[in-house]
Chain A
Amino acid sequence: MSDEARKPKDAPQGGAVDPRLLEILVCPVTKGPLRYDRERGELISERAGLAYPIRDGIPIMLPEEARKLD
């Protein structure tokens, strides 16, 4: 069974993240705020121009793993 098939329809992309962790996380580069994009399963740092992925419910807060924003 694929991950997609197992996932409930309203589950966030990248898996459910601990909300208490989301509350305190900041961008590791700028130490500035992050915006949670539930649809894409990403944490967006506007100032750094980076989108950090969430995989299996774990925020991957590594600049080298982040998607560069246009």
Chain B
Amino acid sequence: MVRRMIADRDPSDSTDFGFREVPRAAKAGLVRQVFESVAPRYDLMNDLMSLGLHRLWKRAFVAAIGASPRETLLDLAGGTGDIAFAALEGGAGRVILSDVNPAMLAVAQNRALDRGLAAGLSFLCADAERLPLPDRSVEKVSIAFGLRNCTDKDAVLAEARRVLRPGGRFHCLEFSRLEVAPLVPLYDLWSFRVLPALGARVAGDRGAYEYLAESIRTFPDQETLAAMMRRAGLERVAWRNLSGGIVAIHTGWRL
């Protein structure tokens, strides 16, 4: 059950941090602490948390992006590089791997070295709400499992549209609303009992994984995110559910 606090103050002063309401100014710092804490074991934890499914989701996502040799992909909240690397290996001309957290980018740099990836790959530490790129500078923007950690999601969507060239496309892979009702109790048990226990044991930080599980549930569902994208000026917005809606791929064009 959602135990979100009812805030008496102006709701614009606060934002979600898992199931907690926190001051807007505090969220970025709290999220940074979570990812600094989980960075070294992030990839292992993703495998455990999703029973390996995240690899399939990301593969479907990179195929949906379909960046060509003539295109530049800006991967926001790119973390340890899963999307950026797969896109490059899949034929993207150029990938800018951006994340707000230097600890995650350091892991990505090491992984890129291990995989022999260098040509066409740039690393950038930036806030997705305030991108350091000019208007109309890239053909594709992606964000995988990142939007829910952003404080001002509308600002992220607006920035994504701003940096896209006309004819460019935005892609979001994110947890969404499970549309298979009989599986909901099992999914709840997994999210709120098993995950935090795994986080405590494997990554040594139960709190961080409680946040991750809760943030998944407070994220807008399929229709709500699509409406937010349209409000940001993206057009022909569409989505596709994966694994019954545990996650969804949303896309929208800058026309």
Please report A residues at the B interface, Cβ cutoff 8 Å.
Answer: 18, 20-21, 24-29, 31, 34, 52, 55-63
Contact = CB atoms under 8 A, between A and B. Distances in A.
Interface stretch (B98-106, B203-211, B219-227): B98-106
Interface residues of B, number: 20
Contacts of A56: 102, 106, 109
B125 A58 contact: yes
B96 A21 contact: yes
Given A21-B96, A55-B102, A60 B133 contact: no
Contact of B127 (A18, A20, A26, A62): A62
Contacts of A34: 132
B124 A58 contact: yes
A30 to B, nearest CB: 10
Nearest to B129: A28
A60 B124 CA distance: 7
Interface string B167-200: 0000000000000000000000000000000000
B-side interface mostly: mixed
Contacts of B134: 24, 26, 31
Give the 3 A-B residue pairs with the shortest CB-CB distance, closest first: A61-B132, A28-B130, A21-B122
B137 interface: yes
Contacts of A31: 134-135
A18 B121 CA distance: 9
B207 to A, nearest CB: 23
Contacts of A21: 96, 122, 124
B22 interface: no
A60 B133 CA distance: 13
A25 B132 contact: yes
A29 B126 CA distance: 11
Contact of A59 (B94, B106, B125, B137): B125
B100 to A, nearest CB: 7
A57 B123 CA distance: 8
Contacts of A27: 132
Contacts of B133: 24-26
Given A28-B127, A56-B102, A61-B132, 10 more contacts: A18-B122, A20-B94, A21-B124, A24-B134, A24-B137, A26-B134, A57-B123, A59-B124, A60-B102, A61-B126
A29 B130 contact: yes
22 contacts: A18-B123, A20-B94, A20-B122, A24-B133, A24-B134, A24-B137, A26-B133, A26-B134, A28-B126, A28-B127, A28-B131, A28-B132, A29-B130, A31-B135, A56-B102, A56-B106, A57-B123, A58-B102, A59-B125, A61-B127, A62-B100, A62-B125
